[in-house]
Each structure stands twice: as structure tokens, then as C-alpha cells.
Amino acid sequence: MEVNHKLGLYVSYYPARFDEVAYQNLGFGNQGKTRNCFVEVKGLSEYSGGIRFTSKEWTVAKTEGENYFLCIISNLNEQPEIIFIQNPFEKLKPKKNIFTSIQISWSVSETQPAEYHD
């Protein structure tokens, strides 16, 4: 597949292994011997379309600069294509969206689970 070929060439160009850095809540990063590279992967079902960054993703893009890459895999429904944008914070001009979300949670009092102890 074309996408796998391009991704393989990219990883060959930046030799290092990709490690999950979830313990830092940063998604996936390329932890190299000489520098850290962070790659954010976004997928589009069609050939073109908009993408969204979380506030944390955009902050990391700003902080990491040239070490941060946006990988867009588009046209997933047909013939996927892949592009990389190095330092998207400097190259892209996203619109900031602020919204309030409603979160629902469920809680159980501490006495309820105690009823099930032997």
C-alpha cells in the first residue's frame, strides 16, 4: 500500500523507534537518540477535509516546533495518501474554538461496596 511505503521511507529518513509516551499524555512520539520527534496522526475519509487539534496537541506542537510533525492520511475510503507537515504550529493557522461541555458521571457511596465484603 502506498501509505505504508511512504511511512516506511519517512521512518527510514528519521531513524529511531516510535514509542508510546502515554505516560506524559502526549500520544505517540519518536524517541530518537539525538532528538525527540512528536508525530500527530490525523485521518480523513475523503481526499480533503478539516482537522481538529486538542488544546494539548496544539500546545505540544507549539512547544516542540521543528520536532513536531503532523501526519495526515487522507482518502481512507479509496486510495489512501499521506503527507507530513513539519512544525504545523508555524505553517497552519487554525481557528480557535471555545465551547463548554457537559460531563455526566456516576458515583457510588463508600457504604455500598462495603455491603459486599465477606
Exposure on the CB side of residue 74, measured as CA atoms within 13 A: 10
Which residue, 66, 93, 70, 67, is CA-closest to 83?
Answer: 70
How many CB atoms sit inside 10 A of residue 51's CB? Answer: 14
Exposed (0-12), middle (13-18) or buried (19+): which is 73, by Cβ within 10 Å? Answer: middle
Provide the pLDDT confidence category of residue 71 given band limits of 50, 70 and 90: very high
- Give the three cell numbers for residue 114: 462495603
- Domains identified in the chain, total number: 1
How far out from the chain centre does Cα 57 lie? 7
- Residue 96 pLDDT grade (very low, low, confident, very high; cuts 50, 70, 90): very high
Confidence category of residue 86, pLDDT binned at 50, 70, 90: very high
Q: How many residues does the chain have?
A: 118
State residue 20's pLDDT score: 43
Structural domain span for residue 53: 2-114
More confident of the two residues 24 and 36: 36
State the Cα torsion 89-90-93-95 to the nearest 10°. Answer: 30
Report the pLDDT averaged over residues 3-15: 47
| Inter-residue contact 74 to 80 (CB < 8 Å) | yes
Residue bearing cell 505517540? 28
Stretch 18-31: mean pLDDT:
45
37: domain CATH number is 3.40.1350
- Give the pLDDT confidence score for residue 34 in this predicted structure: 53
Amino acid at the residue 87? N
Mean pLDDT of 46-65: 92
Is the per-residue pLDDT at 68 higher than 90?
yes
